[in-house]
Amino acid sequence: MRHAISVLVDNEAGVLSRVVGLFSGRGFNIESLSVAPTMDPTKSKIVITTTGNDAVLEQIKKQLNKLINVIKVVDCTDKDYVEREMVIVKVRAEAETRAEVLRIADIFRAKVIDVSPASYTLSLTGDVRKLEGFIEILSPVGILDFIRTGTVVMEREMQGRRKL
Amino acid sequence: MKKITGAQAFIESLRQEGVKDVFGYPGGAVLDIFDALMDASDIHFVLTRHEQGAVHAADGYARATGRTGVCIVTSGPGATNTVTGVATACMDSIPLVVFTGQVSTHLIGNDAFQEADIVGITRPCTKHNYLVKDVADLPRVIKEAFYIARTGRPGPVLVDIPKNVQQALIAFRYPDQVRLESYNPTYRGHAGQIRRVLGVILKSRRPVIYAGGGIVLSNSSPELTEFARKLNIPVTTTLMGMGVFPSGDPLAMGMLGMHGTYAANLAVTNADCLIALGARFDDRVTGKVDEFAPRAKIVHIDIDPTSISKNVRVDLPIVGDCRMVLQGMLAELEGKGDEVSEMQAGVAPWLAQIDSWKLEQPLRYCQGELIKPQHVVEMVDELAPDDTIITTEVGQNQMWTAQFYRFREPRHFLTSGGLGTMGYGFPAAIGAQVAFPDRTVIDIAGDGSIQMNIQEIATAVQYKLPVKVFILNNTYLGMVRQWQSLFYRKRYSHTSMATSPDFVKLAEAYGAHGIRVDRPDQVKGAILEALAIKGPVFVDFVVDPEEDVYPMVPAGTAICNMLLV
């Protein structure tokens, strides 16, 4: 099962390397990664999406907590949370498909951020399933390239209540 | 406030930490620290002949005393030479602080002379590490390094100090306390969980205690002994736990695992309750995990949450310091006289069963024309004083020592368990001898392992450290040969060590004593002679080259599946 783990760390040189090194050294998998400073500039937030059974996830959380620079580890999968990532897709758009690409972009509420005679470059923000759906639908048209960010997550303010 | 250099602040910080003995090796990037060291007559420095030797010596010092071992080495090759020692200490949870010199901050990243990214290299094999880029941080970092090394599950901490930081000036003030938001080891076990665990233990009728290095590190051997005796629970120890329970006690079963005793391995396999104390279910202990203690409720007490349910599913975990948890359990037992006597009586058939296993298949070997290595270990056990510190190298010498030397107290046996580092025993013995100049310290070595750090004989001679090295010389890398013999159709690929130096002449060349014996009737005399000599001695015991270590559990099989003699 896919888990999004949010790791609050000291914003110091080498901390990301400790976290990433832990995953590679112990054979844990990283599917995506995002890292940036938080509201408190002395701290950074790392969000790692990973897969594994309960025992593996338990070890990942414990091993992360064991690192001296790790302040807090939250497995968002246990909670109500919102998540977003972004994708930029360069898609073939020649005379016969230009309109189709724009229709798909419209359906997904993607933005056109670059145009050339033979292609559109689109950007889309959403959760993983939406992004994957978008890429799947665009594929037959001819994707030239795409790039995705890691996931960012935030716990919902009202845990365990009606989702807004 | 008068300003001092970083190097002087470094020395002052060591003083504040109560450091008396330091092991190391100088070099370009630590010249300033070594210069300041010359003015610190209260800090005793031991110059080893290789940085690896320095770290193992500091490690042996730490294991023998319980204090934090300290090393100082230079940048680049000095630093990289410490890596095996640091990894050894990390696997066995030994408190060390290793200081490495580094090139000046403006040169870092430029592939400068003797530059190595030692913080990057040692990240996975230290508990934590630091690069100090500003002299203002130096006192705080040193304070934190010692604190992290010795608290919680102990381990090595490396501090990398660039040359210009050593030279920079600082108004020195050593912090009173450590503030680490994210590091708060749990010492006190959960009271409710302690009660629950005790409930399960008191109902068990085939209990086994499986005690590891955590008992040594938490100094809880007296509590463990009291607990086991109070409830009549038989005790097996890991290699790291040798000595935490008196080997002469009727409840003692010796070591478990790959070369464990028949009784211990069968007891674990048939137990209805296994109480793991400060042990981590290493693969050399468990064998095939699915068949390890298959009938037992498993209780696991450990200060490190990551050890719990890592290798083996645990039914009842307690995160905490073994000593505090055992004290809590002993206190809980106070009001439970009836249940205690019920259990004491209830386990009688189990203890009788274990006694019969002990009689059925004791540890044994056959005497022959040639010296048997087990015989040497038995004679050392008989002849050496009670407070002798034994170190070993890794391989057959280590297993025979664990099997045939009757350890009575913790911190008397220093060996590289987790990493299995050949070349550990001799420098570790030197470290232990520095800590205890008046005690007997013996390294039981193999002819292969001893050659991995044999240069340290010069250190022993220079500092008049009367370490005894007993080489069980079988002209092979014996443990590897044993595996080749059993599992690789006796194809002895590159395990012959027929070309070794003349250890007697070698010892003499360094200014030490050398003795060689090749007949069983000379063993006792040689040991007595060596023990009587006031300086370092190498004794070359020419032993049976084909002797193997038994029992043996083939790797990956259940521990009840033992090859016997």
Interface of A with B in 61-100 (CB under 8 A): 62-63, 65-66, 68-72
User: Does residue B272 sit within a domain?
Assistant: yes
Residues B449 and B511 in one domain: yes
Average pLDDT score over residue span B60-67: 98
| Confidence at A7, pLDDT banded by 50, 70, 90 | very high
- For residues B425, B427, B428 and B430, what is the CA-based torsion angle, rounded to 10 degrees? 120
In Å, how far is A63's CA from the nearest CA of chain B?
Answer: 6
Residues A62, B124: C-beta atoms closer than 8 Å: no
Reduced to 3 states (helix: H, G, I; strand: E, B; else coil), residue B102 is strand
Whose tokens are 């069983």? That residue is B520
Structural domain boundaries, residue B442: 373-542
Average pLDDT, chain B: 97
> Which amino acid would we find at residue B275?
I
Residues B328 and B420 in one domain: no
Number of domains in chain B: 3
Three-state DSSP string of B250-283:
CCEEEECCCCCCHHHHHHHHHCCEEEEECCCCCH
| Confidence at A161, pLDDT banded by 50, 70, 90 | low
CA–CA dist A137, A135 (Å, integer):
6
pLDDT tens digits, B329-373: 999 999 899 999 999 999 999 999 999 999 999 999 999 999 999
Q: Give which of A68, A70, A73 to mutate to test B binding, by max B Cβ within 10 Å.
A: A68
Interface of B with A in 68-127 (CB under 8 A): 119-120, 123-124, 127
CA–CA dist B158, B146 (Å, integer):
10
Catalytic site residue from B12, B51, B456, B547:
B51
Interface of A with B in 14-53 (CB under 8 A): 14, 17-18, 21-22, 25
Is B172 an annotated catalytic residue?
Answer: no
CA–CA dist B72, B126 (Å, integer):
16
Residues B399 and B440 in one domain: yes
Last residue of a domain, one of B336, B360, B384: B360
**Residues of chain B contacting A69 with CB distance shorter than 8 Å:** 182
Residues B123 and B212 in one domain: no
User: Does residue B462 sit within a domain?
Assistant: yes
Instruction: Look at residue B446 and tell me whether its pLDDT is greater than 60.
Output: yes
**Residues of chain B contacting A17 with CB distance shorter than 8 Å:** 120, 123
Residues B78 and B205 in one domain: no
Residues B203 and B142 in one domain: no
User: Does residue B300 sit within a domain?
Assistant: yes
Average pLDDT, chain A: 93
B12's tokens: 């002052």
CATH number of B232's domain: 3.40.50.1220
Residues B182, A70: C-beta atoms closer than 8 Å: yes
Residues A68, B305: C-beta atoms closer than 8 Å: no
Catalytic site residue from B255, B258, B399, B479:
B479
Cβ pair B537, B530 in contact under 8 A: yes
| Confidence at A1, pLDDT banded by 50, 70, 90 | confident
In Å, how far is B31's CA from the nearest CA of chain A?
Answer: 27
Nearest Cα residue in chain A from B122: A18
ipTM of the complex: 0.90
Residues A68, B181: C-beta atoms closer than 8 Å: no
Residue B407, pLDDT score: 96
Residues A62, B306: C-beta atoms closer than 8 Å: yes
- Residue B474 CB coordination number (10 Å): 25
- DSSP H helices, B334-369, are 337-346, 348-360
Q: Give which of A44, A66, A74 to mutate to test B binding, by max B Cβ within 10 Å.
A: A66
CA atoms within 13 A on the CB side of B446: 32
Q: Which residue(s) pair with A74 in the sheet? A: A6
Is B503 an annotated catalytic residue?
Answer: no
pLDDT tens digits, B95-109: 999 999 999 999 999
Instruction: Look at residue A163 and tell me whether its pLDDT is greater than 70.
Output: no
How many contacts does A have with B, using Cβ atoms within 8 A?
36
* H and E: helices and strands count for chain B: 23, 20
Residues B354 and B377 in one domain: no
Cβ-proximal residues to B92 (8 Å cutoff; 6+ apart), any chain: B59, B63, B213, B240, B416, B417, B418, B419
Residues B123, A18: C-beta atoms closer than 8 Å: yes
In Å, how far is A147's CA from the nearest CA of chain B?
Answer: 29
pLDDT tens digits, A84-134: 999 999 999 998 999 999 999 999 999 999 999 999 999 999 999 999 999
DSSP percent split of chain A into helix, strand, coil, nearest 5: 30, 40, 25
User: Does residue B366 sit within a domain?
Assistant: no
B535's tokens: 């300086």
Is B113 an annotated catalytic residue?
Answer: yes
Of A55, A63, A72, the CB nearest to B306: A63
Residues B39 and B95 in one domain: yes
Q: Is the peptide bond before B554 cis (omega within 30 degrees of 0)?
A: no
Cβ pair A23, A36 in contact under 8 A: no
Residue A162, pLDDT score: 55
B6's tokens: 């970083």
Is B456 an annotated catalytic residue?
Answer: no
Instruction: Look at residue B521 and tell me whether its pLDDT is greater than 90.
Output: yes
CA atoms within 13 A on the CB side of B86: 30
Residue B545, pLDDT score: 96
Of B148, B304, B309, the CB nearest to A58: B309
Q: Which secondary-structure segment (H or E) carries B213?
A: helix B213-217
Sheet of B273-277, strands arranged across: B252-255, B235-237, B207-211, B273-277, B297-302, B316-319
**Residues of chain A contacting B308 with CB distance shorter than 8 Å:** 62
B338 at A interface, C-beta within 8 A? no
pLDDT tens digits, B172-226: 999 999 999 889 999 999 999 999 999 999 999 999 999 999 999 999 999 999 9
User: Does residue B367 sit within a domain?
Assistant: no
Residues B460 and B382 in one domain: yes
User: Does residue B407 sit within a domain?
Assistant: yes
Instruction: Look at residue A159 and tell me whether its pLDDT is greater than 90.
Output: no
- The burial of B112, by beta-carbon neighbours within 10 Å (0-12 exposed, 13-18 middle, 19 or more buried), is given as middle
Nearest Cα residue in chain A from B312: A55
User: Does residue B176 sit within a domain?
Assistant: no
B131 at A interface, C-beta within 8 A? yes
Residues B238 and B158 in one domain: no
User: Does residue B348 sit within a domain?
Assistant: yes
Residues A13, B306: C-beta atoms closer than 8 Å: no
Average pLDDT score over residue span B40-48: 97
Residue A78, pLDDT score: 80
User: Minimal CA–CA distance to A74: which of A65, A85, A86, A87?
Assistant: A65
Residues B219 and B70 in one domain: no
B182 at A interface, C-beta within 8 A? yes
Average pLDDT score over residue span B494-515: 96
Average pLDDT score over residue span A59-70: 96
Nearest Cα residue in chain A from B311: A55
Whose tokens are 């050399």? That residue is B284
The beta strands (E) that lie in A53-118 are given as 70-75, 81-92, 111-116
Residues B312 and B380 in one domain: no
Is B422 an annotated catalytic residue?
Answer: no
Domain annotation for chain A: domains and CATH numbers: 2-79 (3.30.70.260), 82-153 (3.30.70.1150)
Residue B293, pLDDT score: 96
CA–CA dist B66, B180 (Å, integer):
23
Instruction: Look at residue B461 and tell me whether its pLDDT is greater than 70.
Output: yes
Residues A68, B123: C-beta atoms closer than 8 Å: no
In Å, how far is A62's CA from the nearest CA of chain B?
Answer: 5
Residue B182, pLDDT score: 87
CATH number of B395's domain: 3.40.50.970
Residues A69, B181: C-beta atoms closer than 8 Å: no
